[in-house]
Structure 1
């Protein structure tokens, strides 16, 4: 089925939903019911308050409407007729939607059975074509997205051309729910989001902190390899700095209100790059000093709407693995390629395939971008040349550029094939111009450097959310917060467990001992629930022979091996660089 046909089917199913709710709840107020990429929804106002138990009742009524095979009938009416129709039924939200239709454009109504909706269409022939559907959830939704206009109830659903397609989709949703990083984050004690701290401000618990630390260690090793120097910048900065950079006012809506200190205005840091530019200006630069590569795990703060917050992946305070390179124009392509290679190498460690998008300025709307064609043309040419030269499959996103320059964005595909926005490499001729950056060239004259902004993970918190769902909490050994759990069968093996744990810690491994007086089966089940890669059972035989009985998360019972062989194996598997390599495709 074509995408157009799928959209028609889902749009028609939304009307069936509206018809069913109108039958069951006669006082309901109807707003809109559009199709989406994965299904449909309908927004309802009125006195009723839907519960999850209501969904099965509504589904049954929808099934009756489908069985009635009601034709979808389109009527073009005058604005006055539509006004009388919806006024007579007290449908105030529809009157507002009617006002949205520009004068001169047709006003159309679609009717199936005794249900009529204001709608531009299009639809399938009849309700009988709605072969397979499912209502999924209920959520609050601000009318027109504005909390000042009041809250509606939104019922989400999905529809497909066949039951087989629907069943496959529902299975995928169930698997996604099993992998939900918010659920696993709580279950595995990785992070906490609590109103006492503030919405969108995650607190990483000790196990979550281990994951972040390992990610930072991984990038830190790469920074040394690629010749970066580390910076630490403050969490607030003068508003004048961001006016110079142009971030204020371009991004003013996503920044927090200024902080007033001694007659000056400061901002919670919304981005790191102006700070890094100030590092560059701290001393005179020559062409011999370039490229200058700065890096920072810099925490920034963005004013996100509460309805958009989502676990670790959409937050108000997050840390970027930020890098900024100042180089000569002649060095630009090589530096861009190095950034690309860095992203590819890191994503390969996680067995994540990535898709690439060249995000460009929209030439029809240049007002939202800083700088003119003389700054944008060479920046866009650089990115296009690199992706062509390296044969990277990519798409182009017109109007997706940053305000100061074009970029190559990366979307990682997780184990379910879902796309996550992660890192980016951006070419910027504008900020060096705004800050008056210079270096002395071979000719002894001042020249303007070019700037590259790059991030591999993007937001570390978001990347953690991706990894939790990608691995379903079953982290590879090197990343697992707890790598080994020793399970003494009785108190008689506790001393041996303590000795092994000490040896493991000296080897840099993360271990615990389950010394509770429970049957060993209960201890094994606990380790499995906590997704520990290795549960090591210790009994009298193991103590006598200096061996261990291994139960791995992947293979289950692997039998008994010597202590030395076990440690040799674990230390080899704990190296992230042994992960399977993949490439940007």
Structure 2
């Protein structure tokens, strides 16, 4: 942190102060500002480097502007939408008469390279609403955002916060070396000093359709995605990660390993699990149930549909209706003459389980001695996700949530949150995820989405922050990301190739107990309102399945593998010998089988290696005579002459220890 000794204006190119060009912006009194900002002696000023999180966002936002300028050079009639930075990159939306082609992208990239070489300066100007409308007169989407400036509607548009918000309106000019304005855009900034700082660590990745402001009622725009990094080497490393991610894509592996599918006859976003996928799912759920029971959770079960009044009480029909399936009119009534009619009562497929659990809590009087009361359910829920957002098992319309709702006294809140977070982290570690950070999602001031008393929100947020910080894990703010009824902590887990996945959520809720009039009798004999904690460890079984599948690239630890052991005889004569060993393994609960196919031994080995079976047992004349077996592992290594009894114990121990076995050393 630095403080100027007098009022200074940092040079527009910034290079005089920061000749290595690593600094792309400033943080002045906590706010991000352009490098050309005028600061005073009383200001606290901190350089923002390009390799920081804020610096990367600024770099990517600036690259999005270069993209938009290039598009309008090639297609002058293209209308500008929004162009925010996103995780690992950026995008920009355009209103164009025809979709972009691969040839268009090539031309746009060449034009972007020219703009970068021109080193146009990004120059910020504050404008009035009338001035902004005059300058953006030919941009209908920008005019709409100008009309939203200062209101909650602007922030409700994905990515619109980079353009307008509660503050002043600004336009950024791209100024050439000759002082001419080459292009301009409505934007809040900040940006890197000039296009040269965009460098060569960027690329355009794909084109997709996107509805303006995320609504199907609005025009469909063309969205160009890209990625941007400080250096070419970092770009190449990112592209390598993408290649690795493509190999691990759970949709691809699900088909290759015969785990699950999405039959057209059932409908989009509705999956079926095949036998091999089903047994993995069973093991995931089984172990979770063991953990729940061992930690004082009680198991409940609730129906898939309910009268709409339940979701009116909970608030979901007011705040979540767009994510719910349309109602069904049910409840037949038979009159005294036997005629059947319908009352007209509307029923809904449930999108979440919490209102049902509230009814269980409310079903009888409760005492403080029963609290904490931890109700847990593997409950099937249904959400009407837009078809364009569906993505394999990670975004579905029908899912099973490992949903827990915990009812506590006010004095128990902090202790139960600590218990829940420790439970979540340890359980995730047992499934093989070990690299975490936390995200604290809070309300956005002025946004009508968030309900309830402000003081309770502040109390809940402060408690969650204290618990998160006490965990020792990195805590990242997520303003505006809370549920409509309360703030939450999210556990973010990094997988084997460094990607981040949102895993477990712990949400503090003072509102639903109020809406459902939940009560317990305290030690003073008076009625008190419990506090409610929402806790989902997986989010959904389907999504967690997909994450584990990609994390392990299909090569699961032995305990999760659908086929844990396969016996491969050197010749058919030795199959009975392996049948006996497999029978011993099955008696110990091991999923084992012998390959009795007509394929030759080398092909059998290739087949089961491709299917990522963790342990292959090979036996021939020498093994059958000595009462031994040979282990072959996923990496092709082999250990010979292991006595059968020892082999069985090693396999059982690997399963019990949840060991990831890929090599001979893993089973040593």
TM-score (norm 1): 0.86
Q: What secondary structure sits across from 1:189 in the alignment?
A: coil
Partner of 2:308: 239
Partner of 2:441: 359
For residue 189 of structure 1, the aligned residue among 237, 243, 258 is: 258
The answer on whether the counterparts of 2:559 and 2:658 sit within 8 Å (CA) in structure 1 is: no
The answer on whether the counterparts of 2:441 and 2:480 sit within 8 Å (CA) in structure 1 is: yes
- 399-408 or 22-31, which moves further after superposition? 22-31
Shift of 1:208: 1.8
Matches of 1:369 and 1:16, distance apart in 2: 36
Partner of 2:235: 166
Partner of 1:510: 591
Shift of 1:550: 1.2
Q: What secondary structure sits across from 1:574 in the alignment?
A: helix
Shift of 1:268: 0.7
The alignment status of 1:141 with 2:192, answered yes or no, reads: no
The alignment status of 1:422 with 2:503, answered yes or no, reads: yes
The answer on whether the counterparts of 1:13 and 1:130 sit within 8 Å (CA) in structure 2 is: no
For residue 478 of structure 1, the aligned residue among 559, 567, 586 is: 559
Which deviations, in whole Å up to 9, do the C-alpha atoms of 1:407-438 show, x marking residues without a partner? 33211121223221111222333322322223
CA RMSD of aligned residues (A): 3.6
Label 1:66 to 1:569 Cα distance change in 2 as closer, same or farther (>3 A): same
Q: What secondary structure sits across from 2:379 in the alignment?
A: strand
Matches of 2:124 and 2:438, distance apart in 1: 45
The answer on whether the counterparts of 1:290 and 1:328 sit within 8 Å (CA) in structure 2 is: yes
Matches of 2:458 and 2:105, distance apart in 1: 54
Alignment of 1:373-388 (within 5 A): 375-376=456-457, 379-380=460-461, 382-387=463-468
Partner of 2:91: 41
The alignment status of 1:225 with 2:294, answered yes or no, reads: yes
The alignment status of 1:211 with 2:280, answered yes or no, reads: yes
Partner of 1:500: 581
Label 1:32 to 1:453 Cα distance change in 2 as closer, same or farther (>3 A): closer
Runs (5+) with no aligned partner, structure 1: 581-585
- 471-480 or 382-391, which moves further after superposition? 382-391
Matches of 2:464 and 2:557, distance apart in 1: 34
The answer on whether the counterparts of 1:272 and 1:322 sit within 8 Å (CA) in structure 2 is: yes
Matches of 1:83 and 1:357, distance apart in 2: 38
The answer on whether the counterparts of 1:490 and 1:517 sit within 8 Å (CA) in structure 2 is: no
Runs (5+) with no aligned partner, structure 2: 1-21, 23-48, 150-167, 332-343, 662-668
Shift of 1:522: 1.9
The answer on whether the counterparts of 1:12 and 1:127 sit within 8 Å (CA) in structure 2 is: no
The alignment status of 1:97 with 2:142, answered yes or no, reads: yes
The alignment status of 1:410 with 2:494, answered yes or no, reads: no
Shift of 1:524: 1.6
Matches of 2:136 and 2:421, distance apart in 1: 57
- 324-333 or 518-527, which moves further after superposition? 324-333
Shift of 1:148: 4.0
Matches of 2:406 and 2:477, distance apart in 1: 24
Matches of 1:454 and 1:84, distance apart in 2: 50
The alignment status of 1:266 with 2:316, answered yes or no, reads: no
Matches of 2:454 and 2:108, distance apart in 1: 56
Label 1:106 to 1:65 Cα distance change in 2 as closer, same or farther (>3 A): closer
The answer on whether the counterparts of 1:110 and 1:119 sit within 8 Å (CA) in structure 2 is: no
The answer on whether the counterparts of 1:130 and 1:159 sit within 8 Å (CA) in structure 2 is: no
Which deviations, in whole Å up to 9, do the C-alpha atoms of 1:451-501 show, x marking residues without a partner? 222122221211112111211222111111221122223222222333333
Alignment of 1:548-563 (within 5 A): 548-554=629-635, 556-563=637-644
- 248-257 or 116-125, which moves further after superposition? 116-125
Shift of 1:194: 3.8
Q: What secondary structure sits across from 2:438 in the alignment?
A: strand
- 177-186 or 101-110, which moves further after superposition? 101-110
Alignment of 1:96-135 (within 5 A): 96-98=141-143, 100-101=145-146, 105=169, 110=174, 116=183, 118=185, 120=187, 122=191, 125-126=194-195, 130-135=199-204
Partner of 1:324: 405
Matches of 2:472 and 2:231, distance apart in 1: 39
For residue 568 of structure 1, the aligned residue among 649, 660, 665 is: 649
The alignment status of 1:279 with 2:279, answered yes or no, reads: no
Matches of 2:447 and 2:186, distance apart in 1: 34
Matches of 1:19 and 1:524, distance apart in 2: 56
Label 1:218 to 1:541 Cα distance change in 2 as closer, same or farther (>3 A): same
Partner of 1:306: 387
